[in-house]
């Protein structure tokens, strides 16, 4: 269990079609990938009506597994680029990840980066 308590999961909910901004931003800050889940909103800003029928806008939920040490800078940049501080644009939050398996590419990438940094 070498990967225990080294990661956080950033969860970002944006309007459908805006997940690319979140992913591009996270990658530019060092994240290696993301998963997109499609959903629909039911929040206070999500209920519009069209001819008496309620419309629930579609959402993209972006899941990004990151190293704990990188979480804050990645989240801040996602928030800035995606304008999440503006009403109705979305939200981003993180949760600690207790244990992870199957992410050898992340741990190998980190080992190589440390070695390269050491010899620069």
Mean pLDDT check: name the lowest of 13-17, 48-52, 104-108, 110-114: 110-114
Owning domain of residue 13? 7-118
Residue 112: per-residue pLDDT: 47
CATH classification at residue 107: 3.30.70.120
Please count the other Cβ atoms lying within 10 Å of the Cβ belonging to residue 48.
Answer: 10
Mean pLDDT to the nearest integer, 45-55:
58
Question: For the chain, how many structural domains are there in total?
Answer: 1
Is residue 1 one of the residues assigned to a domain?
no
What DSSP line would sit under 16-36, residue for residue? Answer: TT-HHHHHHHHHHTT----EE
pLDDT band for position 2 (50/70/90)? low
Mean pLDDT to the nearest integer, 14-36:
92
45 CB contacts (<8 Å, ≥6 apart)? 87, 88
Is residue 2 one of the residues assigned to a domain?
no
Q: Is the pLDDT of residue 50 over 80?
A: no
pLDDT tens per residue across span 33-45: 899 999 887 766 5
pLDDT tens per residue across span 57-107: 889 999 999 999 999 999 999 999 999 998 888 999 999 998 887 766 566
Is residue 113 one of the residues assigned to a domain?
yes
Residue that wins the pLDDT comparison between 56 and 65: 65
């Amino acid at each position: 269990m070498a990967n225990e308590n080294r990661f956080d999961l950033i969860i970002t909910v944006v309007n459908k079609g805006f997940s690319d901004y979140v992913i591009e931003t996270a990658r530019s800050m060092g994240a290696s990938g993301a998963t997109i889940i499609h959903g629909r909103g039911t929040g206070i800003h999500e209920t519009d009506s069209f001819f008496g029928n309620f419309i629930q806008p579609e959402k993209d939920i972006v899941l990004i597994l990151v190293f704990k040490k990188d979480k804050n800078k990645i989240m801040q940049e996602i928030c800035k680029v995606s304008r999440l501080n503006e009403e109705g644009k979305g939200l981003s939050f993180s949760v600690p990840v207790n244990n992870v398996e199957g992410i050898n590419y992340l741990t190998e990438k980190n080992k190589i980066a440390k070695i390269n940094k050491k010899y620069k």
